[in-house]
Amino acid sequence: MIKKKTYFLVGFFVLAGTLIAVGTIVWLGASQYLKKGDRFVTYFDESVQGLQVDSSVKYRGVDIGMVEKINVAPDYRLIEVVMKINFTGDAANKTIAKLKMAGITGIVYVELDHRKKGDVERTPQINFEPDYPLIPSNPSEIQEIVSGVDDVVKKLNKVDFKAISDELVSATSSINKFFSGQKMTKIITNLENMTDTLADSANKLSRMIGDGRADEIITDARDTIREAKATIKKIKEELNNMKLAETTAKTNRLIDDLSRRSKVITTEVQITSENLRRASENLDLLIDRLKADPSDILFSDPPPKKR
């Protein structure tokens, strides 16, 4: 009876343990499917080494989902990553995906961040229709460093170091020829002559100062300036004595008087000219009458008396 009871307890614990293990496995597997969220897809144009199914998907460091699938894209060029995320915002139009490494463990996860200007231009171009809403991706920081190094290496390879070396050698040779040529020798000779001339001038000036001639020249210049100032002062006084303003007023009055007299004389001349013209006309009429009828003057009636 005791043995049967022992077998029963052992069997019960084994069966209970098996049921618990199966339930745990089922719960863990079902929990992945029971998680809330929508499926999105992104494509990376780089290696995804370290990214696995069930890897985290984070938005600025906060877990919002997990990676469900990792496949080669239909164009056999990009890597397709299907994600299930719980994000209340417009993830397809407002976020950008990027691979990031978790410390030094080698584990990689997908980091989502707010999309900035220029991020979409750096995302890989696809020529097929994705099965889920597309979240654009950008190269990871490591990929950007590697790309930058590759660009630098390509630019260095394009540089013609031999041509640069030849130009440097040619420039050095030209400089050596210039400094050792005749032009440089003439320049140095001219500089030496100029230096000697300046030294002679300085010596002459020193001798003049020592002899006192410089003081005489300065004294003469001062006297000349003093005399010029005195002359200018005398000229000013003479101009003031001449009373140019009164002279100008008298001249204006004389001109006005002459103008009036000229006008009177002109008027009298015009009157005299008019009288002469009329007398000439009367004389012409008299001559015409004498020619026509000479007896008219002798036998004609006298003119009527003026009243």
Query: Phi and psi at residue 44, in whole multiples of 5°?
Result: -115, 135
For residue 269, give Cα distances in angstroms to 6, 167, 228, 283: 174, 102, 58, 21
User: For strand 56-59 and strand 108-114, is the pairing parallel, antiparallel, or unpaired?
Assistant: parallel
Q: Indicate whether 204 belongs to any domain.
A: no
Q: Indicate whether 61 belongs to any domain.
A: yes
Per-residue pLDDT tens for 70-97?
999 999 999 999 999 998 878 888 899 9
Please say if the pLDDT value at position 7 is more than 90: no
Residue spans of beta strands (DSSP E) within 45-178? 56-59, 62-72, 79-85, 95-101, 108-114
How much is the pLDDT for 42? Answer: 95
Q: Indicate whether 243 belongs to any domain.
A: no
3-state helix, strand, coil in the chain (%, to 5): 60, 15, 25
Cβ within 8 Å of residue 74, ≥6 positions away: 80, 128
H or E stretch covering 38: strand 38-44
Q: Environment class of residue 37 by beta-carbon count within 10 Å: exposed (0-12), middle (13-18) or buried (19+)? A: middle
Q: Indicate whether 158 belongs to any domain.
A: no
Q: Indicate whether 157 belongs to any domain.
A: no
Q: Indicate whether 181 belongs to any domain.
A: no
| Integer Cα distance of 297 and 295 in angstroms | 5
| Integer Cα distance of 216 and 143 in angstroms | 87
CB 109 within 8 A of CB 102: yes
| Integer Cα distance of 131 and 222 in angstroms | 105
Q: Indicate whether 83 belongs to any domain.
A: yes
How much is the pLDDT for 192? Answer: 77
Per-residue pLDDT tens for 147-176?
778 777 777 777 777 778 777 777 777 777
**How many domains is the chain built from?**
1
Per-residue pLDDT tens for 248-287?
555 566 566 666 766 766 677 677 667 666 766 666 666 6
Q: Is 304 left (phi over 0), alpha (psi -120 to 50) or beta?
A: beta
Please say if the pLDDT value at position 306 is more than 70: no
In this predicted structure, which of 59-68, 141-150, 224-233 has the lowest mean pLDDT? Answer: 224-233
Please say if the pLDDT value at position 302 is more than 60: no
Q: Indicate whether 67 belongs to any domain.
A: yes
**Which residue type, as a one-letter code, is found at position 202?**
A
Q: Is 226 left (phi over 0), alpha (psi -120 to 50) or beta?
A: alpha
Provide the domain limits for residue 90.
34-139
Per-residue pLDDT tens for 240-251?
655 555 555 555
**pTM above 0.95?**
no
CB 99 within 8 A of CB 140: yes
First to last CA, the chain: 199
